[in-house]
Amino acid sequence: MSKLRITLKRSVAGHPKDQKATALALGFTKLNQAVVRPDNPCVRGMVTKIRHLVSVEELAETGDGG
């Protein structure tokens, strides 16, 4: 399964509580922090909710077979 690297680029200060909670649910605690999450509809929905605060890049699969 592919993965997403999500980076918090803008502060959640001054934004609604639900957006702060979404950033926390994704695992963000600091500005410019990057987290890797699976690429699934749930994570995509959270990213869409705070798309103005984050940058997203898809990580290529290595295909090493584990």
Domain boundaries, the chain: 3-55
Question: Among positive and negative, which fits the CA dihedral 58, 33, 37, 19?
Answer: negative
The residue-averaged pLDDT of 22-46 equals 97
Q: 33 or 64: whose pLDDT is higher? A: 33
Provide the pLDDT for residue 30: 96
Topology at the third CATH level for domain 3-55: Ribosomal Protein L30; Chain: A, (3.30.1390)
What gap in Å lies between CA 18 and CA 50, rounded to an integer? Answer: 10
- Reported as a pLDDT band with limits 50, 70 and 90, residue 1 is confident
Q: 24 or 60: whose pLDDT is higher? A: 24
- Of 3, 2, 41, 6, the C-alpha closest to 23 is 6
